Structure 1
Amino acid sequence: MFKSNERKPFIDDKDLVQVTNHGALRYPHRLNFYDRPPLYDVTLEEFETCALDRLRILAEIESSAARNRSWEELKTVTNAQCLKYLPLHATSAKTVDRDAERRKDHLGHFVLRLAFCRSEDLRRRFVKAETTLFKIRYDGDDHVEREMFLSSRDFDWIPVDTAEKAEHRKELLASYQGSKIETVREQTFEAEKYYKVKWTRVPDLVEKRKVFLKRGWAYVPGKEQSSIVFAEFEANLTKALEATARALPRLDEDTRIVPILDNLSQGFLAGVPSEWIGSAEHATGDEIKAEMVDELAKKHFPLCMWTLHNSLRRDHHLKHFGRLNYGLFLKVLGLSIDEAIAFWRKSFDRMTDDKFNKEHKYNIRHSFGLEGKRANYAAKSCMQLLTSGPSEAGCPYRHYSPENLQTALLSAYSSRGLTSADLPEIMATVKAAHYHVACTRVFEMTHSTFGLKKGEGVGGGESVTHPNQYAAKSMEFYKAQQDNAEAMVVE
């Protein structure tokens, strides 16, 4: 992908599709089986950005499955994510660059293939998420454009002619699932088209007894045609990932790409690479005073930061990575440099002023970009905490034993409504390695009094991806409730 200096089109000129009033498209369909890899040059920035935006969507799909969202809820959340990160407008759209959108979709898919082909588990999870995304797009595609896409591919199905349909009418009608009203069901059956495929290609329909079987053939009604398409998409992608895995060692020497792929492959672990980068724009907007931190920790902190705060108050000390992670978290939360120095000085009240100034004050100023290379350091995201070791103040949901985790959860959140009856659900997601889902579910449970329901995450269906996101959203709920209460008093 990076070796050629010649810009090659993904589709040959003879494959260009002329769309009435809209010009020629190199990507004629919104739906894509990703049969052909991208053969054009891309920058490393585009390489990574396209993959990250697609990963946000796939990670949310997996998160939705772990949170038992219904199909309609999953479609709503996924479509919202797609509109934000990876829009794909219909071919009939006039005011957007459809080829640019589809190029990004195409490139992002193949970059993630490289990242997720490395193990059987990653391949399985990637195929499941990608197939779900394809199903959602298929369901939402324009009917005419979807038929054009189906016509453009050879799905190796055999249309059942009128005579054969009449020959097996009794059996086909018996397996036809339509209206419970017999006359209506027969009417829709008469208008239905049928296709023959090997029964092994539609095991889901066989299991649900939605097809008539004869001599190894499954007679699939037109309304179930999508099952054939979905099964072929999944089978093709599975084979392609295995082939990619065999070819991947050739990339080992490319120091530009491998670190990016390593980072992307962690995407399902933390849900999604976070947009919360620790800059001032993500702060709560109000300056936090040192004396306010104790109360904020009780009401708004995620378990990782609550644990650090609790250890600091208990031991009057934190190890290096604990101080670093917690200090950056408080900085983004809204603690100014002066308030941060005051907070840490009070926390380390068992040491002398001279020792504090020599060993800690410089590091605090350094984290604010006032010393050393004067960089504005970002607070650690969930992904960074999940992939760090327990000795580095990592994620409790991943690094704690089940017994210690349950004890910590009740200690941190019992005052916010969490009970022992809630623990089995949380621990089940932890056992399945959906750590960010567990944290998100805790947020939902502890903010139910604000009207937050299961599946809504931190609002709008969004999962927890950053400790500061968790705290900021919690503070927003609390502030909105306070504002409403004050407005009612005034009235």
Structure 2
Amino acid sequence: MFKAGNKAQTTSDLPQYGLEYPHRLNFYDRPPLFDVTLEEFEVAALDRLRILAEIESSGARNRSWDETKDVTNKQCDKFMPLHSNTAIHVDRDSERKRDVLGHFVLRLAFCRSDELRRRFVKAESTLFRIRYDGQSQVEREAFLQSRDFDWIAVSDAEKEQHSKELYDAYLVSGSYQVNKADREFNFKSEKFYKVRWTRVPDLIERRKVFLKAGWAYVPSREHSSIVFQEFEVCLQKALELTAKALPRLDEDTRLVPILSNLSQGFLAGMSSEWTSGTENGEDIRAEMVDELARKHYPMCMRYMHDNLRRDKHLKHFGRLQYGLFLKVLGLSIEEAIIFWRKSFSGKTDDEFNKQYKYNIRHSYGLEGKGVSYPARSCTQILMPTDKAEYVCPYKLFTPENLQTALLKSYSSQGLTSNDLPEVLNIVKAGHPHVACTRVFEITHASCGVKKGEGVGDGESVTHPNQYAALSIELEKTHREEDFDAMAIG
């Protein structure tokens, strides 16, 4: 069991609505004070990380704010839903407790370096803004009233004293959309608040506030800027405090590996492993592998397959990674032995049986401890290593070599030289899995995949088998649709 915090709660601490957490919006300044299992600890963090990873991917893919909100909301609905207070038939407290738990676990994982803290604050702030925009006016006002944002209401006399300056700033904030009479009427009813100018740099940059003697006069419609700035400042301070306390946690051998895996996944730009069995629902035979590689493989597995065909050999770690990929894709142990025997055509039967057959059976769980090993995920492939045979090509190749490899591998599937600058820019920005996702979209446009859709609901590729299995499924669906259309015609 894991218990966060050291202060017990009483019923007098419970706020309105009869809920322990009365608001969907949260500044996370109250740590979780409840017991959780180790599994709940990890799963809540992984699900939240899936959401934050897609927020980062949205930035790498230059999605608009509306597109980012749409993708993020879909991820939230799938992995960490938060219903409004009107949803009385839903266990809202359980949802919100899980939200808080996931945030604090990730805070432990990502307080360890300046880079992790910066990226975590940016992603969490974006998530907070999206949730803030999605709140009803009633719930948003209730949340704002629950906190002290240290703003000073401007009196009617002071508003009248600076009416011209305030009105000019008010126009910049969007009031020009109505006629003059309506603008003046709305301005008279608008409330203004004073805060120190350092708290609203974004509004100052866009000239949406009036400045005087170090104070910024903020119209109520722009409250969100103060709220967002406050959220970022509070989270940054909390992460720095957590980093100082972290050494005491290193004694817990149960938690440290989980936190390390979470931070490594975030640095790689994704959340966790994609796991599945034979996604295409059909067994794969050895003679099918060449065509599958040509039509459905991501770059990392194309690189493996091409090396195998060229050299009639792969080193140990390359064989392990590619063999597990084929296993998860649907290659049975019998077909795997046939495939590898033909691939190592330079070896005699005796050499093959002695040097390679045992390891193939071992990866299927038929030798040794009897463990059927999973295929490696993008996160694992992207981890630093000196074994180049199983490093992601988007990370390993020079820009020139990557361009050549992409055109060689995917030009028959619709990728052209015009697509390369976009893909290379994504790689340069440090998001290889997003570049792989963009290649997937381009090469599957004929199957109806649109830009921004990724591998479904805007998600990015997180596993080579995910890429290949979905590619096979899309081709099968597209082929059946064409067959149906021909039958109708």
Q: Normalising to structure 1: TM-score of the pair?
A: 0.94
Shift of 1:350: 1.0
The residue that corresponds to 1:95 in the other structure is 89
Distance 2:268 2:448 in 1: 26
Is 2:455 the partner of 1:458?
yes
Report the secondary structure of 2:195's partner residue: strand
The 10-residue stretch of structure 1 (226-235 or 145-154) with the greater mean CA deviation from structure 2: 145-154
Which one of the candidate residues 231, 246, 249 is aligned to 1:248? 246
On the 8 A contact 2:279/2:469 being kept in 1, the answer is yes
Q: Does structure 2 conserve the Cα–Cα contact (< 8 Å) formed by 1:390 and 1:399?
A: no
Equivalent pair of 1:60/1:272 in contact (CA under 8 Å): yes
Task: Report the AA paired with residue 85 of structure 2.
Answer: T
1:75 is matched with which residue? 69
Corresponding residue of 1:448:
445
Check the 8 A contact 2:46/2:272 in 1, yes or no.
no
Does residue 1:377 correspond to 2:373, yes or no? yes
Give every structure 1 segment of 4 or more consecutive aligned residues whose post-TM-superposition deviation is greater than 4 Å: 1-4, 6-9
Quick check: 1:140 aligned with 2:137?
A: no
Letter in 1 for 2:210: F
SS of residue in 1 equivalent to 2:130: helix
Sequence identity of aligned pairs in percent?
Answer: 67
Q: For 1:58-457, what aligned pairs fall within 5 Å after superposition?
A: 58-176=52-170, 177-180=174-177, 181-277=179-275, 279-280=276-277, 282-391=278-387, 393-457=390-454
Cα deviation digits, residues 170-217 of structure 1 (max 9, x gap): 111111131343223222222221111111100000000111111111
Match of 2:471 in 1: 474
Q: Aligned residues, how many?
A: 483
Distance 2:458 2:42 in 1: 25
CA distance in 1, matches of 2:411, 2:115: 36
1:158–1:197 CA contact under 8 A, matched in 2: yes
> Which amino acid in the other structure matches residue 260 of structure 1?
I
- Higher mean alpha-carbon deviation, 407-416 vs 283-292, is at 407-416
Please tell me whether the aligned partners of residues 109 and 262 of structure 2 are also in contact (alpha carbons under 8 angstroms). yes
Q: Write the distance in 1 (CA, Å) between the matches of 2:149 and 2:353.
A: 72
Deviation, structure 1 residue 376 = 1.9
8 Å contact kept, 1:56–1:273: yes
**2:482 maps to what in 1?**
485
TM-superposed CA distance for 1:166, in Å, is 1.9
Give the AA of the match of 1:456: E
SS in 2 for 1:179: helix
**For residues 390 and 355 of structure 1, what CA distance do their matches in structure 2 show?**
28
1:32 partnered with 2:30: no
State the Cα RMSD in Å: 1.8
1:54 aligned residue (48, 51, 63): 48
Instruction: Choose from 39, 61, 73 the match for 1:45.
Output: 39
Q: 1:275 offset after TM fit, Å? A: 4.7
- Cα separation, 2, equivalents of 1:375 and 1:110: 34
Cα offset, 1:2, TM superposition: 4.4
How high is the TM-score relative to the length of structure 2? 0.95
| Unpaired runs of at least 5, structure 2 | none
Instruction: Give the stretch that moved more between structures: 131-140 or 264-273.
Output: 264-273
Tell me how far 1:462 sits from its aligned partner: 1.4
- C-alpha distance 364-488 of structure 1, shift in aligned 2 (>3 A): same
Q: Give the 3-state SS of the residue equivalent to 1:30 in structure 2.
A: coil
Cα offset for 1:8?
5.3
SS of equivalent to 1:213: strand
State the Cα deviation string for residues 374-397 of structure 1 (Å, max 9, x = none): 212111111111115251512111
Distance in 1, Cα, partners of 2:251 & 2:375? 31
Distance in 1 between residues matched to 2:62 and 2:335, nearest whole Å: 43
| Partner Cα distance (1:350, 1:415) in 2 | 31
SS at match of 1:252: helix
Shift of 1:366: 1.6
1:439-489 C-alpha deviation (Å, 9 max, x unpaired): 111111212222322211123211100001101111122112211111111
Distance 2:345 2:384 in 1: 29
8 A Cα contact 1:341 1:361, kept in partner: yes
Q: Distance in 1 between matches of 2:10 and 2:63?
A: 42
SS of corresponding position for 2:217? strand
Deviation at 1:91, TM superposition (A): 1.8
Equivalents in 1 of 2:38, 2:282: separation in Å?
37
Residue pair 1:269, 1:386 contacting (<8 A) in 2 also = no
Tell me how far 1:244 sits from its aligned partner. Answer: 1.2
**d(CA) in 1 for partners of 2:409, 2:240:** 45
| 1:195-246 CA-partner distances (Å, limit 9, x unpaired) | 1111110000000011111111111111111110000000111111111112
